[in-house]
Amino acid sequence: MRIMGLDLGSKTVGVAVSDPLLITAQGLEIIRRPEENKLRRTLARIEELIEEYEVSEIVLGLPKNMNDTIGDRAELSFAFREKLERRTGLPVIMWDERLTTVAADKAMIEAGIRRERRREYVDKIAAVLILQGYLDCRANGEKE
């Protein structure tokens, strides 16, 4: 059993997966699409990865506003969640992703990755941070 973490962007989805012991998250890939509302291939690729990694649960980043309200991006995430649940039959947990992209960018700066290259990796690293946060809380018996 593994858990998949997803960071939904306007034209990308960062994908991470846990190890079988549910301790650590590893980045897998970034799924890119030409337009925000073109999700068929994205969902098909997620299904392939679910099968390949024997995923039993999905954690999807929830982009809340800093004042803890739900905005347009969060509404899109809820709609994506419904599509994922319908298509995969797996439970999808929404996980507060505030500042994960900022943290991912900061980690890459500290690692010396050039600005041009950071855009290539930020969504995958954000997916790792989302999933790792969930795994850590789960291991400690906490709920978000």
In this predicted model, what pLDDT tens digit does every residue of 98-144 receive, in sequence order? 767 666 767 767 877 777 776 767 788 889 999 999 999 888 876 55
Q: Does residue 95 register a pLDDT over 70?
A: yes
Q: Cβ distance 49 to 17 under 8 Å?
A: yes
CB atoms within 10 A of CB 2: 20
Task: Read off the pTM.
Answer: 0.86
The per-residue pLDDT for 24 is 97
User: CA angle at residue 124 from 26 to 138, to 5 degrees?
Assistant: 50
Sequence-separated (6 or more) residues with CB below 8 Å from residue 103: 126, 129
Q: Where are the domains of the chain?
A: 2-139
The per-residue pLDDT for 28 is 95
Fold (topology level) of 2-139: Nucleotidyltransferase; domain 5 (3.30.420)
The per-residue pLDDT for 34 is 82
The per-residue pLDDT for 139 is 86
The per-residue pLDDT for 106 is 75
Q: What's the mean per-residue pLDDT of the chain?
A: 87
Q: For residues 73 and 100, give the distance between their C-alpha atoms in angstroms, rounded to a whole number.
A: 15
In this predicted model, what pLDDT tens digit does every residue of 26-59 receive, in sequence order? 999 999 988 877 889 999 999 999 999 999 999 9
